[in-house]
Homo-oligomer: A and B are copies of this chain.
Amino acid sequence: MDQVKEFNEYRAKMNEVLLGKNNKVINRLFNLDTNTYAEGALPVRTKEMLGLVASMVLRCDDCIKYHLGKCHDEGISTEEMYEIFAVANIVGGTIVIPHTRRAAEYWEALKAQ
């Protein structure tokens, strides 16, 4: 199975488990998370870039994949994407490189769809 589909399916399946336990704090946090990236004074496109760079410097591969998907939906170009990668790698250091390799691979998978 291709990695975009695999990522989305596992995420959807486990979110269902997590939210199904009806822990109020967790369910409200998920809701708040969605609102964070909604159109506001800043456009969705910018907010998704912010979410991506934050995920990269914190080195969370799944969070990176999620925001890469959203950035792809927002029509961010490969040239722009690599400038986000550049900020993440300069701020976060070479420790971010292995995550950038996986991000680059996932980005190619998104472009190939």
Contacts and interface: CB of A to CB of B under 8 A. Distances in A.
Interface in A41-98: 41-42, 46-47, 49-51, 53-63, 77-80, 82-98
B95 A55 contact: yes
Interface residues of A, number: 65
Interface string A87-113: 111111111111011101100100000
Chain A interface main SS type: helix
A75 B86 CA distance: 23
Interface of A: 10-11, 14-15, 17-18, 21, 23-26, 28-30, 32-33, 35-37, 40-42, 46-47, 49-51, 53-63, 77-80, 82-98, 100-102, 104-105, 108
